[in-house]
Structure 1
Amino acid sequence: MAKIVRSMKEFSHPAAQAKQVVDFNRCVESTVTVCRNEWKYVADVELDLDPRLPPVYCSPGEMNQVLLNLIVNAAHAIGDKLGGVTNERGKITISTRCQGDWLEIRVSDTGTGIPEAIRDRIFDPFFTTKPVGKGTGQGLAITHSIVVEKHHGTIDVETTPGKGTTFIVRIPIHDQEEEKNASDLPGGSPESVIA
């Protein structure tokens, strides 16, 4: 219970909207805990978090939203594939890696996969394959906006219909604009801004 309350506080803290240096693995763990009710009946979650991941300069609240959207979508895809069969479970795997100056997050599921005919529309606002009342078509559009526009990153998808999907999110570990501004200050250095 204490872990859930702590995770909810971290997830919803007002300061979490501003960019700051964070332990991104902790963001992943908090988000997985907060959205447990979405996945616990259909899937097991496996975390493969890089213990050597450096602190990441990002908006933890917005990145928690990205993770939440991807995990919820993964759980729904698995639930759709299982079709109400209660003795089977899918798997959601979340990994973090440092790739040079980039953080790479992968969210994989063993769900339905994404049909080729709609792959180029999945990030469009209001596009959804869910029944009326179940999805708004905003989750992946918001995710794309946060990753690409606000964090200057990328989001890609690998999918096989009937087998599952992996979303690959990459964001810079350090904010290049902040580092540039800091190095322009007398005696400034990137470390003085993001440490």
Structure 2
Amino acid sequence: MRLAYHGQRTKNKDFTCELVIQFDPTIDQAAVMAQEIGRVLLNLFSNAFYAVKERQKQDELSYQPTVRVSTQKTQKGIEIRVSDNGTGMPESVKAKIFQPF
């Protein structure tokens, strides 16, 4: 998350964003393919920071860009949520969201 945030800051030094992190303390290590999950998360974070930056360009001064990431242990495994209060996704993008890249 911080890599994507600093990547956005290198493009725009004035960019700031509140980062809200809530990790489930009961989660130990998970068996994942680190490179693949890393790519997915980096893409999600980059998209979130882009969306809040775009909304910041068009919104009033009271807007506070915020990106959240949370984890939660479930019965089936681990849930990772990434959310933002940016511009949102067009329906055309939502229709393709689960296509492999």
Q: Do the two structures share a fold, i.e. TM-score over 0.5?
A: yes
Partner of residue 177, structure 1: none
Counterpart contact for 2:48–2:83, Cα < 8 Å = yes
SS in 1 for 2:81: strand
The alpha carbon displacement at 1:123 in A equals 4.3
Correspondence for 1:98 among 46, 49, 73: 73
The alpha carbon displacement at 1:97 in A equals 0.5
* More helix as a share of residues: 1
Partner of residue 12, structure 2: none
How many residues end up aligned between the 2 structures?
95
* More strand as a share of residues: 1
Structure 1 residue ranges (4+ consecutive) displaced by more than 3 angstroms after TM superposition: none
Partner of residue 70, structure 1: 44
SS in 2 for 1:108: strand
Q: Which has the higher contact order (CA 8 A, sep 6+)?
A: 2
SS in 1 for 2:95: helix
Counterpart contact for 1:77–1:111, Cα < 8 Å = yes
In 1: Cα distance, 2:66 partner to 2:79 partner = 20
What aligned pairs does 1:1-195 form with structure 2 within 5 A after superposition? 32-39=1-8, 41-83=15-57, 88-124=63-99, 141-142=100-101
The one-letter amino acid paired with 2:66 is K
Q: Residues 101 and 117 (structure 1 numbering): CA distance in 2 closer, same or farther, change over 3 Å?
A: closer
Q: Identity of paired residues, percent? A: 28
Gapped runs of 5+ residues in structure 2? 10-14
Counterpart contact for 1:47–1:94, Cα < 8 Å = yes
Q: Residues 58 and 101 (structure 1 numbering): CA distance in 2 closer, same or farther, change over 3 Å?
A: same
Q: CA RMSD in A?
A: 2.3
SS in 2 for 1:112: coil
In 1: Cα distance, 2:66 partner to 2:93 partner = 23
TM-score, scaled to structure 2: 0.77
The alpha carbon displacement at 1:120 in A equals 0.8
In 2: Cα distance, 1:93 partner to 1:61 partner = 22
Gapped runs of 5+ residues in structure 1? 1-31, 125-140, 143-195
Measured against aligned partners, the alpha-carbon deviations of 1:49-103 in whole angstroms (never above 9, x if no partner) come to 0011132111112111111000000001111111177x55310000000001311
